Amino acid sequence: MTTRLSRRTSAVAPMALAALLPAARESGATDLALGIPRGSPPGAAVEAAVAALRSGSHQYADPAGSPELRHAVAAGLGAVRGVRVDAEHEVTISAGATEGLLVALIAATDPGDEVLVPEPFYENHPGVVDLAGASARFVPLTGEGRRLDGLALEAAVTPRTRAVLLNNPHNPTGRVFDRAEFDALTALCERHDLTLITDEVYDRFVYDGHRHLSPVGGVPRLRHRSIVVGSLSKTRAMSGWRLGYCLAPAPVTAALRRVHERTTLGAPHPLQRGAAALGPEAEAEVASVRAEFELRRDLVCDGLREAGCTVHTPQGGWFVLARTAALAGDSAELARELVERAGVLVAPGASFFASPGAGRGWIRVALVRDRDRLAAALARVTAHLTRTPIAPRS
């Protein structure tokens, strides 16, 4: 007799890439699927974390987060977004943005409530909604540019709707939502008394002069009804340190901290000490990394178009969503073929749509590899899709 599982656990599907990863690792395929930063965190952070370990920082930090790291996060956000952030009463350090999202959803919704989720979506979003006991109502982004449609959002609202979960810049499409879209979203949240939860992990990766808008900086009418979730994983290249944050008004933060204390209790103390040693991010350093990713984005878009894919150039983030429908039927099968025959791992489109059939003609490609490896991998993808001979991998 097996242990009975909860309905919410049974509703969470396995990660779509799980079946491909063993074969990709065994064959040494180039990973163009996962947004895992390459390289190491800044040396100062590593040294400070090691020093914290050696000095005995082995027990719990303040569950809300070490004061030093909360103040560093608040100072960084305040400098970039031109707003005042209260480190003592508005910032909570979480065990990565994923825990931050779960904490936000548990704090903002009750079991049986509904959360509006734009589609396509980041694969983890429906799962954290399910684990919170709520239900996702998917709202398709519209048109070639994948815009947030105010009328579609309004049509999706029911008496049970309590929140909107928005990823900006958007994964997987790379959309950076503009003023008109936020105006419609603001009106919707005010009209129906909804909480906006924003996943802003890629907030510093916005290209071509587009502006990242947020309830914290840019859309002040939303700030009092929003929970902003961010991370140190991308700009600091420390995804394995599991350091994220929630930013919300003081009364909401008090509730977030109560939930957080009953999930992870707190993020790792010595790693918080390490990250705090960096202080706010240096804008020149961030701008340099952003410029490099913009070059990689252009390389990937050009390479996928050469392979015959249809691509709408992303405005931000670390991914390109490419349409392959004219080249292959099932993108899951195409992803397996690319691992086995081209030595390249991509994410199949079914990961990002509520109906697996809707994602059959799409793949997602990450920008994290250096340009030489991206170019070589894309050449193999093109060769496979166009059935053009290519030299073996070295």
* Residue 390 pLDDT grade (very low, low, confident, very high; cuts 50, 70, 90): very low
* Arithmetic mean of pLDDT, 184-188: 98
Helix (H) or strand (E) holding 249: none
Q: Do 76 and 184 belong to one domain?
A: yes
Share of the chain above pLDDT 90, in %: 77
Within-domain flag for 391: no
Q: Residue 116 maps to which CATH number?
A: 3.40.640.10
Q: Residue 295 maps to which CATH number?
A: 3.90.1150.10
Range of the domain at 376: 7-39+283-386
Structural domains counted in the chain: 2
Q: Are strands 195-199 and 91-94 parallel, antiparallel or unpaired?
A: unpaired
Within-domain flag for 90: yes
DSSP calls for 307-365: TT-EEPPPSBSSEEEEE-TTT-S-HHHHHHHIIIII-EE-EEGGGG-SSGGGGTTEEEE
What's the confidence (pLDDT) of residue 285?
80
* Arithmetic mean of pLDDT, 312-325: 93
**Whether the Cβ atoms of residue 199 and residue 35 lie closer than 8 Å to each other:** no
In one-letter notation, the amino acid at residue 64 is A
CA 130, distance to chain mean position in Å, is: 17
CA 11, distance to chain mean position in Å, is: 21
Q: Do 326 and 344 belong to one domain?
A: yes
Within-domain flag for 392: no
Within-domain flag for 394: no
What's the confidence (pLDDT) of residue 327?
65
Q: Do 259 and 360 belong to one domain?
A: no
pLDDT(298) > 50? yes
Q: Do 63 and 145 belong to one domain?
A: yes
